[in-house]
Structure formats: structure tokens, C-alpha cells
Amino acid sequence: MANDGRIGPPLLGSERETLRAFLDYQRETLAMKCAGLSDEELRERSMPPSTLSLLALVRHLAEVERAWFRRVFEDPAVPMVWSKRHFDFQAAYDASASTRAESFAAWEAEVETSRRIERDAASLEVTGRQSRWEKDVSLRMVMVHVLLEYGRHNGHADLLREGVDGAVGA
């Protein structure tokens, strides 16, 4: 995994370019952690009773992308990807019957929607309504929040990948 092809964030970019690049870098990290694994390997759980797996993380982050971009800036009523309740992120962790194709298709679609929403926004000051908090939030806050979600969960992905096949690295 050493020469993985990810593009690092700019050293001298604007705030928006830097946030965008760091977020994309973290998205690429998640995909890299899952690369080359079978559906069965992607569903390997960390340790009972946890249902955490690499595929569960992909599903969870699809929910995060939808909850923080599409639902905040476009349509607060759009259903979550897998969750039946408003913010039941744990529902995404049930990846026992999921496949790479299904999970990655949903995640990639949400990432593209998030990228479009960010690109189309006039500035980082654009606001949307976070219905879970019943408060307005800026695009800047959303990008930072989602970036932190990826950072936290990519740490989990490091450990999960090492448990699956011993691969370690960035």
C-alpha cells in the first residue's frame, strides 16, 4: 500500500481547495483500505459483539455523506440510504448480506452528490439546515465534520484491514 496513488492536499491552497482536497484524500483512503478484498473479507467483523467491518464503514460513510450534504443542503426529507429511522447510523453496520458492488455504488453516488453540492455552493458560508440539531450550519462546518468522520473511521479501517490480511500502511 506504500505507493497508493492518492493525491495529497495542496501545501498552499485556499481554504476551500484545502478542505476539498483533504476530504477527497480521506475518501480515497477508505477506498484504498478496501481494495483487493473479496465481499467475504470486506464483511469480516472486528470482534464480537461489534458488527464493524470494512463494508460496514463504507455503508456508514454513505449515510454520513447523505445526512450531511444532501439532507442539509438539498432535501431534508430524502430517506437515508439504509437507515429506517432519521439518524440510525448503526443500521448501516449490518453488512452481513451486502456486497462490494451494492455498498460501493451507494457510497460513490453519495460522494458524487456531495461533491456536486460543494462545487455548486457560492462559498463556504452557504448555510443549510441540520435537522438533527434544528440549527443552520455552514458548508465549511459540514466539510470539517465529514472530514473528521472519515479520519476517525479510516483509523478503524486501518485496524480492520490489518486483521483481514495483515496489510498495513497509510
Residue 65's contacts (CB-CB under 8 Å, 6 or more residues apart) are 107, 110, 111, 113, 114, 146
How many CB atoms are closer than 10 A to CB 62? Answer: 23
Higher pLDDT, 1 or 30: 30
Residues 57 and 93: their CA atoms lie apart, in Å, by: 7
Q: Please report the pLDDT score of residue 2 as a whole number.
A: 42
Per-residue pLDDT tens over the stretch 57-79: 999 999 999 999 999 999 999 99
What integer pLDDT is reported at residue 39 of this predicted model? 93
Q: Is 76 exposed, middle or buried (0-12, 13-18, 19+ CB in 10 A)?
A: middle
Cell digits of residue 10: 495542496
The model's pTM is: 0.92
Bigger pLDDT: 164 vs 94? 164
* Mean pLDDT, the chain, integer: 90
Whether domain 37-165 has CATH 1.10.10.60: no
Reported as a pLDDT band with limits 50, 70 and 90, residue 90 is low
Amino acid at 118: E
User: Percent of the chain, pLDDT > 70?
Assistant: 92
Beta bridge partners of 47: none
Q: What would the pLDDT profile of 40-59 be if each residue is shown by its tens digit? A: 999 998 887 888 899 999 99
- How far is Cα 154 from Cα 17, in angstroms, rounded to an integer? 21
Query: What is the enclosing helix (H) or strand (E) of 168?
Result: none
pLDDT at 86 over 70: no
Per-residue pLDDT at 25 exceeds 90: yes
Kindly tell me if the per-residue pLDDT of 1 is higher than 60.
no
Please say if the pLDDT value at position 3 is more than 90. no
Rank 19-28, 74-83, 92-101 by mean pLDDT and report only the highest: 19-28
DSSP readout, 94-153?
--TT--HHHHHHHHHHHHHHHHHHHHHSS-TT-EEEETTTTEEEEHHHHHHHHHHHHHHH
